[in-house]
Amino acid sequence: MVSTSQTLAELNARPVPDWYQDAKFGIFIHWGAFAIPGFAPRLGSIGEAFAKDYDRAVAMVPYTEWYANAIKVPGTPSAEFHRTHYRDAPYEDFKQPFEAGLDHWDPAAWAEAFRDAGARYVVLVTKHHDGLCLWPSQVANRHQDDWTTKRDIVGELAAAVRAAGLRFGVYYSGGIDWTFNRRPLRTLADFMGSTPGGDYPDYAMAQVRELIDRYEPSVLWNDISWPTRPGPLYRLFADYYRAVPEGVVNDRWVAASLQRDLLKIPLMRRFVDRKIKAAIAKQGSDVSKGIIPPEIPHSDFRTPEYAAFAEIQAKKWEATRGMSHSFGFNRNDDESDYESADTLLHDFIDAVSRNGNLLLNVGPRATDAAIPGEQLSRLKQFGTWLRANGDAIYGTRPWSRSDGETECGTAVRFTAAPGRLNLIFKGPVASDRLVVKDLTLSGSAVRLGDDSPVTLQQRGPDLEVTFVTSGTGPVGTAVAVATGG
């Protein structure tokens, strides 16, 4: 019989597949019944919500996809909104109008928009914390009747995405399901201790195996934690890799343990909350920097959320974020709530130079199954930039360093490919001549996008870069240097 430690060693010996290393850019999709109300409080980022109102922060986060829990906490903006607009109707009532909106859905149009944006893979939320399954699962939920969609949203999108030449992955909320645990959650300890027991571990395991068998996803993206002990989890990973040899799993599979079981005790949760509140108070302004999940015994990549690593990481990672403060559609978002395309692209360039990917979220509306215009416009700007500069992104690996700077203060990022080093100048290049500080480099060089020649000349420890022709993009200019290595 194979031991758990032996299985873990075999899992960790498996290299991350080249396709995922090369892809760099993926699309996340948060879509479900929560997009009907499309509402969340506006306290800034998720970190700011915890800093400003910790004692009910889980019901105050800007994530509209957490609406089903937020309306259970009296006095929250979501509860007041729900009373005013829906007269305290059960959350389950949103399923019917969500399914009615599918009459307008064009999965092929979505897939084409993602392809044209330069994405190489798509990850769909198949079941979020509200427990609604976006496929007609054959695994019965004994706690909530008729809680799957009649249409196979997962299957239809998978087919459209693959027809567009992209990889398809699935997200599953393994750690949280509010149909199995209906207790209102207010604090982080409440949240951490709410993973259901009883028949839920078998249910979650059966559903994830069903997703693997039916859709063969290239990405298996779990959220929050996992309800079984490590042994069954590692066997799941092994079976998944056999079924999908080039599949990858993320880092949010924190297995059940005695420590997590203790959080089911109210006194222990209060103790943990006091510790967390003290830590938040000590962090001060840093609380808005997002979430970096803890490392676990096996994963193919890490997933900082609304956060990023500032240095090159030995382990592959994937920054995940919405374009605004929410993943799910928020009816109150306008242009001012969205991060600019320039900032999103600059953060993407940073991630790639440091061994990361970007999983950028779209939150479609439910009533017409459309992606909001503010989000589509940013996807189009990604596509424009990547069509010109993609050779400095796709298929690259980190160089010996990620960061540089010109004499005039323009940030420079480096990526490498066989026989080539790429310099990406972040922001508009106002002059035909730049000097990159502390860089020694030689070789023939071209500006990507128009293949115009670029001359390089060493000036002591610095490198002078001269563009032979004028013209540059406002977001960033990439130069490819043939190093011959």
For 27-83, what is each residue's pLDDT tens digit?
999 999 999 999 999 888 898 899 899 999 999 999 999 999 999 999 999 999 999
What pLDDT does residue 43 have?
84
**Identity of residue 50:** F
Q: Which tens digits make up the pLDDT trace of 230-269?
A: 999 999 999 999 999 999 999 999 999 998 899 999 999 9
Question: What is the per-residue pLDDT across 367-403, written as a single tens digit (0 to 9) for each?
Answer: 999 999 999 999 999 999 999 999 999 999 999 999 9
Q: Closest Cα to residue 43, out of 16, 78, 10?
A: 78
Q: How far apart are CA 398 and CA 414, in angstroms?
A: 7
Indicate whether this model's pTM tops 0.95: yes
Nearest to 31 by CA among 372, 260, 380, 471: 372
Share of the chain above pLDDT 70, in %: 98
Range from 133-142, 144-153, 328-337, 422-431 carrying the lowest mean pLDDT: 422-431
Q: What is the mean pLDDT of residues 1-10?
A: 81
Give the separation between CA 240 and CA 306, rounded to whole angstroms.
Answer: 28
317, 358 Cβ separation under 8 angstroms:
no
Token pair 């563009």 is at which residue? 467
